[in-house]
Amino acid sequence: MTITEKILASHAGGDVVKPGDLINIRLDLILANDVTAPIAIEKFREIGVERVFDKNKIVLVPDHYAPNKDIESARQCKVMRDFAREQDLTNYFEVGRMGIEHALLPEQGLVLPGDAVIGADSHTCTYGALGAFSTGAGSTDVGAAMATGEVWLKVPSTIKFVYKGKLNKWVGGKDLILYTIGKIGVDGALYKAMEFCGEAIQRLSMDGRFTMCNMAIEAGAKSGIMAVDETTLNYVKGRAKRPYEVYASDPDASYENVIEFDVLNIESQVAFPHLPSNTRGISEVGDIPIDQVVIGSCTNGRLEDLRVAAEMLKGRKIHPSLRLIIIPATQEIYRLALKRGFTETFVEAGAVVSTPTCGPCLGGHMGVLAEGERALTTTNRNFVGRMGHPESEVYLCGPAVAAASAVLGKIASPEEVVGSGE
């Protein structure tokens, strides 16, 4: 079996599952945020039970419209906060202690290898980077799961993606996943598990791995996943507060398809409007001026992303024609960015540095676009109206391209700013 099938079999209480099986699995963790939790809570109450199945296995994070941007978002957050207090939930993360959920949960050691996790947010697939099965679910399923500790699903078949070779300078996890989605399309892995492997993945940092699994949903996937290795175990060490089990795909596991890439052929990528699959290499972009750059989100707001941006911006100023918004993904990342001087570099360059929030990624706040404006962003989606006005444009990229472009006022390669020798 594949790693995904082994985790699902274990959580279904059996020895074997195969693609297409309908199963019930017990869950190790259930997640919701200020947009999705109020609906889940309403559905939970309709069931008629008084208490959640396990107060330690439900995580609530106000991150989308928090800090509260208006009265309605304040109400949403209050519903979640009141429920967390009523149920005495262990893992409610208030503003000031929180972070963007998909960066926060791994950082806090709440998701571990071998886990089965659902979240009322499509980018819950992020945790596959830890060798866990994690997937997004609707608020109704999450409400039921809070009562029962279980969810039913169909076992997905798996597509194996093999990345061979050594990454080029300034190319990271965001470029690999954008390139992949560009090749297979936004429905190229519809309801499949995307299993990422190969020497390029083995050399990738945990931050880069989270980025890749985060965007599996942008190819239509049920989940993204990577095998546990020394990098994973070093990340989990000191964070894990409970036992976990490591699974690996069998050498003779059956895959729906195997797709191989030589990463030497992959340069920095940019996804053009209005699909994450509309990708081009940076050398093919042309002259595209921009009004706003955003570095952050559950995709690229981690410390490594901020380090790359700080390297690019050190001693430089952003172009006067645009605004640069930088959003550390958690309070801990914010603290480390301060400690290492990244935040000072950003402010001196002319950037805005925000408290952790999903904010502009979904057109919520902290950087909504007006009609005709064009943004380059390290977020995960660029659908029509995703970041504001339906007649605005969103381009996706990694942190190196984002920071370089902020300096030059147009979509640009890092080499245009620092040269090829640095």
pLDDT tens, position by position, 90-136: 999 999 999 999 999 999 999 999 999 999 999 999 999 999 999 99
> How many percent of the chain have pLDDT more than 90?
97
Q: Give me the pLDDT at residue 166, please.
A: 95
Q: Give me the pLDDT at residue 316, please.
A: 96
- Specify the pairing of strand 116-119 against strand 133-136: parallel
Rounded distance, CA 123 to CA 261, Å?
Answer: 24
Q: Are 333 and 309 in contact (CB under 8 A)?
A: no
> How many percent of the chain have pLDDT more than 70?
99
Rounded distance, CA 343 to CA 199, Å?
Answer: 33
pLDDT higher than 70, residue 357: yes
Rounded distance, CA 367 to CA 359, Å?
Answer: 7
Q: Are 313 and 213 in contact (CB under 8 A)?
A: no
pLDDT tens, position by position, 174-189: 999 999 999 999 999 9
Q: Give me the pLDDT at residue 172, please.
A: 96
Q: Give me the pLDDT at residue 420, please.
A: 55
Q: Residue 25: what are its φ and ψ, rounded to 5°?
A: -120, 145
Which residues, 6+ apart, have CB-to-CB distance to 78 below 8 Å? none
Residue 279: which pLDDT band, with cuts at 50, 70 and 90? very high
pLDDT tens, position by position, 191-232: 999 999 999 999 999 999 999 999 999 999 999 999 999 999
Residue position matching structure tokens 């059956």: 254
Q: Give me the pLDDT at residue 422, please.
A: 44
Residue position matching structure tokens 């797709």: 259
What mean pLDDT comes out for the span 38-67?
96
Residue intervals in the chain for CATH 3.30.499.10: 3-261, 269-418
Q: Residue 383: what are its φ and ψ, rounded to 5°?
A: -65, 165
What mean pLDDT comes out for the span 167-178?
96
**What would be the CATH architecture of the domain defined by 3-261?**
2-Layer Sandwich (3.30)
pLDDT tens, position by position, 219-228: 999 999 999 9
Residue 419: which pLDDT band, with cuts at 50, 70 and 90? confident
Rounded distance, CA 137 to CA 227, Å?
Answer: 23
pLDDT tens, position by position, 362-371: 998 999 999 9
What CATH number matches the domain at 269-418, 3.40.50.720, 3.40.190.10, 3.30.499.10, 3.65.10.10? Answer: 3.30.499.10
Radius of gyration of the chain (CA): 20
